[in-house]
Structure formats: C-alpha cells, structure tokens
Amino acid sequence: MKPARILVTGGAGFIGSHTVDALLRENREVVVLDNLFSGRLNNLDLAHPNLEFVEGDVLEYPLLVDLLTGCDAVLHLAAIASVPLSIEKPIYSFQVNTQGFLHVLQAVYEAKRPIRLVYASSAAVYGEAAVLPCLDTKPLDGVVLSPYALQKRHIEQYADLYQRLHGTKSLGLRYFNVYGERQDPASPYSGVISRFLSLYQQDKALTIFGDGQQSRDFIHVQDVARANCLALQSDYAGQLNIATGQSETLLDLIQSIEAAGGRRANLTFAPASAGDIQSSYAATQLALQQIDFCYTIALGQGMRRMVS
C-alpha cells in the first residue's frame, strides 16, 4: 500500500531531494527534515502544496517524535555519507549515522502504530568482499574498512534487533555508488563521478588514486529514488542491494565521460586512498523479487544526462 504522508530525513540532499520529487509526483504528502549540513533548499520545490520543510536534526529526538505524528512512513536518509569524513571525524559521524538512526528507530517503535520505515544503508557494509557479486541473501563476512562502513553495519543490526525484540519491521537499502544531478562536485566528499565530470568540464586533470582498475557498481540517482518509492510501498523487511549488478572500473568511467564530452581527459595517478575497497558490484535478484526494482539508466546514458 502506498503511504499517504511520509517523513523524509535528509530530504534536501542529493538522494533525498530526487526521492521527494518522485513522491510528490505520486501525490504523496511529504515532510522533509534536514539540517542543511549538505542538503540545499534549492533542491526542493518549497512552494509545492504537499511539501513541508523543517530545518532540524535527527539528533533532536522530541522533534522526530512530533514530526512522526500523522505520518505513516519514514524514509531515513540523513547521514554523514562519506568514508573520508568518517575517518577524519569518527565521533561526529557516529552520532549522526548510528545515534541518529537509533533515534528514528526508537521514535517509530514508540509511536505504537504501523509506520513503514525504510532507511539508507550502503554497499560499504560488505567491506572487501571475498566473493563477488555482493550477496544480500547471506550474512556479512567481509572486513569493514572505515568507520562509515561499521556505522552502517551497526544500524542494520539495530534494525534487525528491534524487529526481534519489538516486532518493528524496517527495510535497509544498500546503495552502491550513486551518481547524478545535484551531487555537489565542490564537496571533497562528493562522489567520484561528479568530481571527475566537474574537473573534465574545466579541462583540469582527473586524479586516479591507484591504478584505475578498482571497480564499482554505479547507479543513477533517479533509479535510486524509484527504488526508495517502491520500498516504501512494500512490507518486506531486511536489507536489499540497490544497484545495477554491473562492474565498471574507474578507467571505464573515464571512457564514458570522454564519450559523453567528446574529447580526451587529462589524467594523473596517485597512491590508493585509505578505506577504499578494490572491487564491488551487487547481486540484484532479491530487490527484483521483493520490490520489483531493476535499474533503467545505464552508465553511458547517465553520463550524457549529466553532461547535458
């Protein structure tokens, strides 16, 4: 069943704002809670009659409880979604990512009524997986490589625990490498595609950390927004990969940028970054089975959209 009124934490951010747009197109009422640490007001249609914006933080527990009144679903996206920042500021990222999620989970439990909870997890929970593709049908066994990855593992464990203890069901979406419009290339913690594309358009050098053979599963943000909407309508509980199931190296990515832009890129190479995994791509069959999700935007098409 489609929820009528949805609280979206982090709704002014990159993934959040695209999801808010999609929900509004479905005639849902949306309440956005965002502290604007990385979110932007100009990502939202603030004049839309079905949109309410509240500037605040998931660490403000009474505010969360109040905003849940009248909502029948929560999409929890508020996070410090950065491996480097989690290494630089582990206490702050723990507070936002782990404690903030626990606030949302406890508020849903204490509401004592059915509230659909969908939350953002991450491919980082797999760590350096011994076997590829990364399987959302088996327990996690890879070694985590960053505080961010550990925090995302912890929130999945809290979600599973609350279901066992209290019957509070939730669905965690393990996003792989999300890219697309509204991803801020000026941020040092932004995704590799937005940074590379911005540098390419300025005719500046693209720095590859490592040999360029590290691979990722890149998924367009509009596909992710659609997956979020499907997850909110589902009653499935657990965790799902949200990905394409395709493995692309960084050198493949640069070729896609060059094809979209019509000229060669300037490249430099540097030592690999701490906390980075070498290879990652997802098994996607469970998401297809449980929420009828499959990606629609291939990397080349997504790059052409961003260039245009």
Q: Rounded distance, CA 39 to CA 32, Å?
A: 11
Residue of 5, 11, 65 lying closest to 30 (CA atoms): 5
Helices 100-110 and 61-68: angle between axes, nearest 10 degrees: 40
User: Which entry of 126, 148, 236, 295 is annotated as an active-site residue?
Assistant: 148
Residue 212 CB coordination number (10 Å): 16
Q: Is 281 a catalytic residue?
A: no
Q: What beta strand segments (E) does the chain contain? A: 5-9, 29-34, 51-55, 73-76, 116-122, 171-175, 177-179, 206-209, 215-216, 218-220, 238-242, 248-249, 267-270
Q: Tell me which residues are annotated as active site.
A: 148
